[in-house]
């Protein structure tokens, strides 16, 4: 798996202009934010989401010019191949999260502002979100390929939003009381909520990993 990680990090080096653009946009948002929590959160989120999803584009590099049959002729198991994609996505996403969270914190302190709980929470909540995105997108990309997965992603998120809309409509139409569910969640501290969401996203990522391994093992190259 170490060799696969080296290969994909070399791809990052080849795409340095792409990452430079991401960095410039994120830094631009941080500098122009004036300390606004929403803008800072967007800058951090944009950088870590774009970077972690670069793992999806490495799948297309592997598919290019019938590269997968050659790749799997090497002493690389399909399980390790999938595991590397998840590790690479988490490493790049979390690395960028650390970098731009640090830059945002420096900007806030440099301008004489306080690192309020709201600012810290808005950065931390991005971690379970990008883990959840990886958990959804990587199996789709490995199943359908880089091109077809775009339509699959649109379909999945369309279904999620549709279910959310229908659920909200049903609750309002039938006057369903959700307070027994919402009240305990509302009483949780921000730290407990983020911790719970992170644990949940990690469990979903583990489930996603096993699904992806099953997909790749059954796939013919």
Taking only the tens place, the pLDDT of each residue in 3-36 is 888 888 888 778 778 888 888 888 888 888 887 8
Helix axes 126-174, 117-124, angle to 10 degrees: 90
pTM of the shown model? 0.82
Taking only the tens place, the pLDDT of each residue in 144-180 is 876 666 676 667 667 766 877 787 777 777 777 666 7
Taking only the tens place, the pLDDT of each residue in 116-132 is 888 888 889 889 988 99
Taking only the tens place, the pLDDT of each residue in 74-102 is 788 888 889 999 999 999 989 989 999 99
Nearest to 31 by CA among 22, 43, 19, 15: 43
Asked whether the CA dihedral 92, 127, 123, 167 is positive or negative, the reply is positive
* CA dihedral angle for residue 40, residue 109, residue 95, residue 54, rounded to 10 degrees: 30
CA distance 87 to 133: 14
Asked whether the CA dihedral 122, 197, 153, 171 is positive or negative, the reply is negative
CA distance 139 to 209: 8
Taking only the tens place, the pLDDT of each residue in 40-87 is 888 888 888 887 777 778 887 777 656 677 777 778 888 888 999 999
End-to-end distance of the chain based on CA atoms, in angstroms?
A: 20
Tell me, what's the pLDDT at 190?
A: 76
Query: Over 60: is that where the pLDDT of 182 sits?
Result: no
For residue 187, what pLDDT band results from cuts at 50, 70 and 90? low
Q: Are 54 and 102 in contact (CB under 8 A)?
A: no
CA distance 112 to 166: 46
Tell me, what's the pLDDT at 145?
A: 75
CA distance 85 to 134: 10
CA distance 27 to 103: 8
Tokens found for residue 70? 């050659």
């Amino acid at each position: 798996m170490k060799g696969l990680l080296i290969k994909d990090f070399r791809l990052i080096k080849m795409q340095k202009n792409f990452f430079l653009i991401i960095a410039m946009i994120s830094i631009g948002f941080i500098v122009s934010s004036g300390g606004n929590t929403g803008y800072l959160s967007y800058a951090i989120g944009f950088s870590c989401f774009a970077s972690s999803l670069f793992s999806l584009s490495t799948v297309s590099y592997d598919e290019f010019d019938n590269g997968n049959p050659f790749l799997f002729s090497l002493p690389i198991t399909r399980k390790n191949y999938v595991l590397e994609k998840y590790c690479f996505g988490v490493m790049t996403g979390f690395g960028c999260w650390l970098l731009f969270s640090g830059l945002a914190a420096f900007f806030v302190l440099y301008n004489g502002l306080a690192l309020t709980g709201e600012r810290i929470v808005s950065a931390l909540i991005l971690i379970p979100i990008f883990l959840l995105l990886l958990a959804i997108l990587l199996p789709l990309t490995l199943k359908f390929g880089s091109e077809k997965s775009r339509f699959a992603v649109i379909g999945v998120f369309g279904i999620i939003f549709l279910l959310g809309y229908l659920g909200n409509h049903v609750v309002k139409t039938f006057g369903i009381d959700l307070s027994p569910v919402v009240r305990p969640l509302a009483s949780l501290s921000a730290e407990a909520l983020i911790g719970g969401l992170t644990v949940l996203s990690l469990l979903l990522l583990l489930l996603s990993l096993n699904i992806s391994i099953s997909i790749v093992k059954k796939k013919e190259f």
